[in-house]
Structure 1
């Protein structure tokens, strides 16, 4: 009696669950394109939504980052602002995923993408994230699974920010950044002296006294303006997120606060320092 021989499943054979998932993904893409064409974005409404969001301190204080590089500091927009602008612009899908983890070589292959469904513009970034960090001027491997996850998430967020900004018009991003800076400079309605006192108290909790703040800004406390408070707020948020160390943000002063006050008293007018991102702009 002959029994039929069951052949092994070949690598090119697709299982039922895989086929269902592929069909679902295709239908999802088709539905997204259909909906985007049926409900195209209204640029005026998108701008109004963006302006309302950027006028909130809840977003503005998280909109920028600051970290040291090559003896200076780099500042830019965060993933929080990028996601908010994607929602305001509309008809945009985005995501980040870990495609493959290689524990032998201590690295993960990841992908971040953003897709303007209406314009059919897609930006994809595939990158390798080593399971390591740079600390104390040397590379240290990451062993703990939570550390690896957080390292991958941080790198993924940065690439996702780039992908989102790549599919949103530059004018939309520039206007949002300017509004967020204005919101930070104006504050939450408190008088400027109260905001200055609050900034000094917050940094005192980190071990940074008023003299070091004055040295950083290049002017006395009595001369601070809204832009100065905004710069301090961005720096404080970056310290909280671990993007910059306190000593890197506020090097130990080589001159004292009293010397700054003495030199400032004889000066007619002192403008913002060269590294001030609001240099040359009118103060509020």
Structure 2
């Protein structure tokens, strides 16, 4: 009896190979059909470039998106800024006929191999980045190994977000991205709700509560008092906050620890000996409000 006949007669001998091969072939065939369907629909309903551009700009007029549209971080003594992953996703959603995302290809030896991609189904322009993510995060005590599947998933998604942003921005025309960034800046400068002093005061409170960055540390970085901050300074604070939130930079990159020590060393005495000027929500743009003395806790 031939080996082929024995495989059909004895299930334990031949069924696993045939079944595994059939499943792989069926999966590949299904994915191929899905891709063909996406390309067919993109060709049948091509994007209207002018309408797509207008949709992008209209989306950038939303204050909630404009506040998270940019990131910034210091590098080599200069400041690097650019569109955030949130803005890139918003542009892709309104540009249309794009296939983009992050795929985990495999896990092995405490690391994941993943792929970020963006594919314009109309023009067949594709950006793809394959990268490796270690199942570990840095802590004050060193590297901490991740074993929870959810933690691993979040680590891969977080590292993949930057690659995905790069892929999307590599496919979308550059002038569309520039117009979107400009519209977000105009939205923050002209259409933000609430007085500037209220928003700056709220921003300073957020820095203090979440990152232990005091008003004095912020003023030291900018070189002048917070009551003199303009809309552009507010936008820069937003960019710094987004950078810290997304993990693009650390607090020490913007506010060195030495400055924090110098600012905090005489803080108690300042409260005891003299009044302190702070930005308050109800203060006019050019007049600081004098705060009464507060007892130290």
Q: Residues 28-63 of structure 1, C-alpha deviation per residue, up to 9 Å, x if partnerless?
A: 222212211121111110111011111111111122
Given the alignment, which residue of 90, 99, 102 partners 1:93?
99
TM-score, normalization by structure 2 = 0.74
- Quote the residue 1:5 is aligned against: 6
Instruction: State the 1:76 CA deviation.
Output: 2.5
> Residue 37 of structure 1 corresponds to which residue in structure 2?
43
Q: Structure 1 or 2: larger helix share? A: 2
C-alpha separation in 2, matches of 1:170 and 1:203: 33
The secondary structure found in structure 2 opposite 1:6 is helix
Aligned residue for 2:291? none
Tell whether 2:126 aligns with 1:125.
no
C-alpha spacing 1:126/1:2, structure 2 compared with 1 (3 Å): closer
| Residue correspondence of structure 1 range 1-284 to structure 2 within 5 A | 4-6=5-7, 8=14, 15-69=21-75, 74-102=80-108, 104=109, 106-136=110-140, 139-186=143-190, 188-206=192-210, 207-251=212-256, 252=259
What does the per-residue CA deviation read over 1:120-157, in whole Å, with 9 as the maximum and x for residues that have no partner?
Answer: 11122112222233445965543444332222111111
| C-alpha distance in structure 2 between counterparts of 1:202 and 1:140, whole Å | 28
Q: Distance in 2 between matches of 1:24 and 1:177?
A: 39
The answer to whether the 8 A contact 2:68-2:238 is kept is no
Aligned residues: 256
Aligned CA distance change for structure 1 residues 97 and 218 (closer, same or farther; 3 Å):
same
Structure number with greater Rg is 2
- In structure 2, distance between residues paired with 1:144 and 1:2: 48
Runs of at least 5 residues in structure 1 that lack an aligned partner in the other structure: 259-284
Is the Cα–Cα contact under 8 Å of residues 7 and 15 in structure 2 kept in the other structure? no
CA distance in 1, matches of 2:87, 2:63: 12
CA–CA separation in structure 1 for the residues paired with 2:214 and 2:130: 44
In structure 2, runs of 5+ residues without a counterpart are: 9-13, 271-297
Normalising to structure 1: TM-score of the pair? Answer: 0.77
Change (3 A) 1:198 1:10: closer
> Quick one: distance in 1 between partners of 2:28 and 2:245?
42
Taking the aligned partners of 2:65 and 2:226, their CA distance within structure 1 comes to: 27
1: CA distance between counterparts of 2:80 and 2:111?
26
Q: Is the 8 A contact 2:98 2:120 kept in 1?
A: yes
User: Over residues 198-245 of structure 1, what are the superposed CA-to-partner deviations in whole Å (9 max), with x where a residue is unaligned?
Assistant: 333333434333222211222222321101011112222333444444
* 8 Å Cα contact 2:70/2:239 also seen in 1: yes
